[in-house]
Structure 1
């Protein structure tokens, strides 16, 4: 099994409930956006550095996923560069999206450990992108 397939399978173990999956389709992109926003508020260079670090991680896993995530992150960074009150908006989105995640996992009845949650910050967006790729029969 390829490392990306293993990560997607492990991530999916605690994301089988249909309600929890729907919550993740909303909250994971919001968490990604807000995390980049929090970093942007500290320094645009910090946000860009994190995005490049994540891109290197995705390249190691799958070039097609990396290209998709480059488009996603680039779009998010472009929005953040034009957004007023980045810190306040990002902090609000971050807190509300994590509350959504906790509700989804409560309904699921299975929650990843804290350390898996941290590691899965990078896996979650790629996991969702993997669904899109499969739907449109794009190999990853």
Structure 2
């Protein structure tokens, strides 16, 4: 399994234009939230209405993030579980409304992503490596931390390998 720095570096090579990074701060959270909403049905047990496909996937993804890095794993796990809580409040809505919210967020999030990649002049990372779909949220968490002055060691290593954002 690749290390945190290796995963972030590979993803970063597709994301060096600051405009692309900014669009990812909007698009990726929208896509993650949309997936939680769209996977909030059906409940896998009538007695455990919170146990949904989204909850199972979020637990597995959180475990992956925790294995890469505990700090980022905790942050991303909290975001995922927050999204799941919102998704659970939307799941009882009429099917058309529930689906429109989830699909709408998904579509708009991807449009924003592709606008960013237009600025970048490069295809999205997941086109070459499907794991990029999981690394996107991690990249945004790392970039947010870098902006707050956190994890300078990780930032320096990623920038040394991928080049500084331009």
**Higher fraction of helix:** 1
Are 2:41 and 2:52, in contact at CA under 8 Å, matched by a contact in 1? no
Offset at 1:131? 2.2
What is the CA deviation profile of residues 4-35 of structure 1, one whole-angstrom value per residue up to 9, with x for unaligned ones? 11111111111111211111010011011111
Map 1:25-44 onto structure 2 (within 5 A): 25-43=25-43, 44=51
Structure 2 residues not aligned, in runs of 5+ = 44-50, 155-166
Alpha carbon RMSD of aligned pairs, Å? 2.0
Could you state the TM-score of these two structures normalised by the residue count of structure 1?
A: 0.87
Structure 1 residues not aligned, in runs of 5+ = none
- Compared with structure 1, are the counterparts of its residues 45 and 130 closer, same or farther at alpha carbon in structure 2 (3 Å cutoff)? same
The reply to whether residue 133 of structure 1 matches residue 145 of structure 2 is: yes
SS at match of 2:131: helix
Are 2:33 and 2:83, in contact at CA under 8 Å, matched by a contact in 1? yes
Between 1:25-34 and 1:69-78, the stretch displaced more is 69-78
The reply to whether residue 124 of structure 1 matches residue 136 of structure 2 is: yes
- Residue 70 (structure 1) aligns with: 77
Are 2:24 and 2:116, in contact at CA under 8 Å, matched by a contact in 1? yes
Distance in 1 of aligned mates of 2:87 and 2:151? 29
Could you state the TM-score of these two structures normalised by the residue count of structure 2?
A: 0.75
- Compared with structure 1, are the counterparts of its residues 42 and 96 closer, same or farther at alpha carbon in structure 2 (3 Å cutoff)? farther
1:51 to 40, 48, 58: 58
- The structure that has the greater radius of gyration is 2
Are 1:40 and 1:86, in contact at CA under 8 Å, matched by a contact in 2? no
